[in-house]
């Protein structure tokens, strides 16, 4: 697993939020696998699909990526946490990936918050 972003991809972008999204999604595509069944790689939904960002061809699990610069403890704003837990616990909602990275993108931390803990064995 590569723990840094491929920042070469960002040369044509000037928006920090666009760069963060591009590098985060690229990192997941290249470094992750389906936590539910182990399938490699995950597949990316087309842009702007509202429900989830990635899916597994094999077991059809869906994953939503949340990425943020900084520490994992800062990734969920106050007030949004209970809403997110409700979504996680609801039927047919995606699992969440949390990706945090340092300012320069040289170090990435990746966590999974499954929608159903029985998926983890
Ligand atoms: Zn799978």
Q: Coil, strand, or helix at residue 30?
A: helix
Once rounded to an integer, what is the mean pLDDT over residues 35-49?
A: 84
The pair phi, psi for residue 54, each rounded to 5°, is -135, 155
Confidence band of 116 (pLDDT split at 50, 70, 90):
low
Q: Which CATH architecture has domain 13-119?
A: 3-Layer(aba) Sandwich (3.40)
Question: What is the distance in A from the centroid of ligand 1 to the CA of 40?
Answer: 8
Does residue 3 carry a pLDDT above 50? Answer: yes
Question: What is the distance in A from the centroid of ligand 1 to the CA of 103?
Answer: 31
Question: What is the distance in A from the centroid of ligand 1 to the CA of 28?
Answer: 14
Question: What is the distance in A from the centroid of ligand 1 to the CA of 26?
Answer: 19
Domain locations in the chain as residue ranges: 13-119
- pTM attached to this predicted model: 0.74
Question: What is the distance in A from the centroid of ligand 1 to the CA of 31?
Answer: 15
34 neighbors 61 (Cβ within 8 angstroms): yes
More confident residue, 88 or 26: 26
Question: What is the distance in A from the centroid of ligand 1 to the CA of 15?
Answer: 33
Residue keyed to tokens 């704003």 = 77
Tokens representing 64 are 């939503």
Q: pLDDT for 67-84, tens place per residue?
A: 888 876 655 655 566 666
Extended beta strands in the chain, E state: 43-44, 54-55, 62-69, 95-101, 108-113
25-to-21, 82, 83, 98, 106 alpha-carbon distances in Å: 6, 25, 24, 11, 15
Question: What is the distance in A from the centroid of ligand 1 to the CA of 27?
Answer: 18
Tokens representing 32 are 């992750």
Residue keyed to tokens 């991809």 = 9
Question: What is the distance in A from the centroid of ligand 1 to the CA of 110?
Answer: 18
């Amino acid at each position: 697993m590569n723990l840094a972003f491929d920042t070469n991809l960002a040369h044509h972008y000037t928006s920090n939020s666009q760069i963060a999204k591009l590098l985060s999604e690229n990192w997941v595509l290249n470094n992750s696998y389906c936590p539910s069944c182990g399938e490699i790689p995950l597949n990316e939904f087309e842009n702007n699909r509202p429900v989830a960002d990635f899916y597994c061809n094999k077991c059809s699990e869906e994953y939503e990526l949340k990425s943020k610069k900084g520490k994992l403890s800062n990734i969920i704003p106050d007030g949004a946490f209970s809403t997110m837990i409700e979504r996680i616990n609801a039927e047919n909602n995606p699992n969440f990936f949390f990706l945090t990275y340092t300012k320069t993108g040289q170090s990435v931390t990746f966590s999974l918050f499954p929608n159903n803990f029985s998926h983890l064995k």
